[in-house]
Amino acid sequence: MPQKLSIPQFVVTVNNLSVMRGEYLAVDNVSFKLLPGTHTAIIGPNGAGKSTLIKTILGLVQAHSGEIKLFNASKPFKKLKQEIGYIPQKFSFERTFPLTVSELVGLGLNHQQWWYSSKRKKEIIDRALEQVHLTKQAKQKIGTLSGGELKRILLAYCLVVPRRLLVLDEALAGVDATGEMEFAALLNNLKQEHNWTILEVSHDLDLVSKYCDSVICLNRRLLYQGSPSTTLTSENLLHIYGSLVSPTCHHHEPSRLPESF
């Protein structure tokens, strides 16, 4: 009797997605799928629609047409939010606000975990801080953190609840080269430990080549998709960016953590 082939359960499925920003067509008929446990980078020039695509997948921007499906589920998006971690490019907050690192990470606990004892909640928070190597900063005020430390704290925020998908929108913007490399290595280790699927907007092609399984090259339309070795060729980069100069960090409006992320 012939053996049945297993059908991949995609974490993200995007079909013929188009997104308008006002009168401007920011994303034009884009389709792709993400397999569990993979790390995919979205690259492209400034204004290519990368952040718009990410925010549409997260439900923060409304699609004009097309379909987005998460975890092959028919559940409403609101019920799937808790399985998604999100780290924005900029985390806007008042530097003088007297919130400690532990308190910020604890905000990531879901409504079920808030019924845990204080001891159990502290264990979860402490474990998350240990995983991002910031145990010593637990009682430190968030306004005193460096850019790289703050991004690792947001990663700890995502760790206090089990996640299946982690989305990063140029999360390393404003972090120095050493901090970028440390964060990328840490993210890769945690991805393997927790079997995350990662989708990120990135400008650092060296880190994309080193850590990503696949690359989506976007300029409103999907130009190329595949492994770093097949997509990040000199010819393709010339087509995407218009020059062979390494892409630089792009600037967008500051973002706040969405309510359920």
pLDDT tens-digit profile of 11-30?
Answer: 999 999 999 999 999 999 99
How many residues does this entry show for the chain? 261
Q: pLDDT 10s per residue in the chain (261 long)?
A: 555 555 568 999 999 999 999 999 999 999 999 999 999 999 999 999 999 999 999 999 999 999 999 997 766 666 788 899 999 888 777 777 889 999 999 999 987 788 899 999 999 999 999 999 999 999 999 999 888 899 999 999 999 999 999 999 988 887 888 888 999 999 999 999 999 999 999 999 999 999 999 999 999 999 999 999 999 999 999 999 986 555 544 333 444 444 444
- The closest alpha carbon to 165, from 60, 54, 6, belongs to 54
The full set of domain ranges for the chain reads 12-89+165-241
Calculate the alpha carbon distances from 167 to 52, 94, 122, 136, 145 in Å: 13, 24, 26, 27, 22
Cβ-contact 165, 197 below 8 angstroms: yes
Task: Report which of 161, 193, 172, 11 is spatially closest to residue 90, judged by C-alpha positions.
Answer: 172
Q: What is the pTM of this model?
A: 0.87
Give the pLDDT confidence of 201-246 residue by residue, as tens digits. Answer: 999 999 999 999 999 999 999 999 999 999 999 999 999 998 655 5
> What gap in Å lies between CA 40 and CA 43, rounded to an integer?
10
* Domain 12-89+165-241: top CATH class: alpha beta
Our CA angle for 62, 63, 65, nearest 5°, is 150
